């Protein structure tokens, strides 16, 4: 087989030309990279699930891994806001008790 960029003869099984570095064959992946919102909701509710799925999918499904990160960050922000609201309500109710 010949490289489509430099025209040199290369191995028939080569995916990248060793001489010029240009990809000569498209890599066909069996996995479809369609983000799953069910996995996103699970990573929002349980951030550990999001971290695990991110590291499992980051190479073979980069779009899905990125979507999981957004859901996970959104869940963490929601948790933090919820706890801040609970603390403020707790202090406010304690302050009302003394007056």
Q: Measured in Å, how far apart are the chain's first and last C-alpha atoms?
A: 87
* Whether 89 and 44 share a structural domain: yes
The DSSP element (H or E) to which 87 belongs, if any, is helix 62-98
Find the domain containing 82 and state its range: 37-98
pTM of the model: 0.57
Query: Tell me: the pLDDT tens digits for 4-47?
Result: 888 888 888 888 888 888 888 765 555 578 888 888 888 888 88
* Whether 20 and 46 share a structural domain: no
> Residue 28 and residue 37: Cα distance in Å, rounded?
25
* Whether 21 and 42 share a structural domain: no
Number of domains, the chain: 2
Closest CA to 46 of 38, 57, 55: 38
HSE (side-chain half, CA atoms, 13 Å) at 48 = 0
Grouping H, G, I as helix, E, B as strand and the rest as coil, residue 85 is helix
């Amino acid at each position: 087989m010949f490289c489509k960029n430099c025209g040199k003869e290369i191995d028939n099984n080569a995916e990248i030309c060793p001489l010029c570095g240009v990809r000569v064959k498209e890599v066909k992946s069996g996995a479809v990279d369609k983000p799953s919102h069910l996995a996103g909701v699970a990573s929002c509710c349980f951030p550990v699930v999001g971290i695990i799925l991110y590291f499992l999918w980051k190479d073979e499904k980069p779009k899905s891994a990125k979507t999981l990160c957004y859901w996970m960050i959104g869940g963490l922000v929601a948790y933090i806001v919820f706890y801040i609201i609970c603390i403020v309500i707790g202090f406010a109710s304690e302050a009302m008790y003394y007056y």
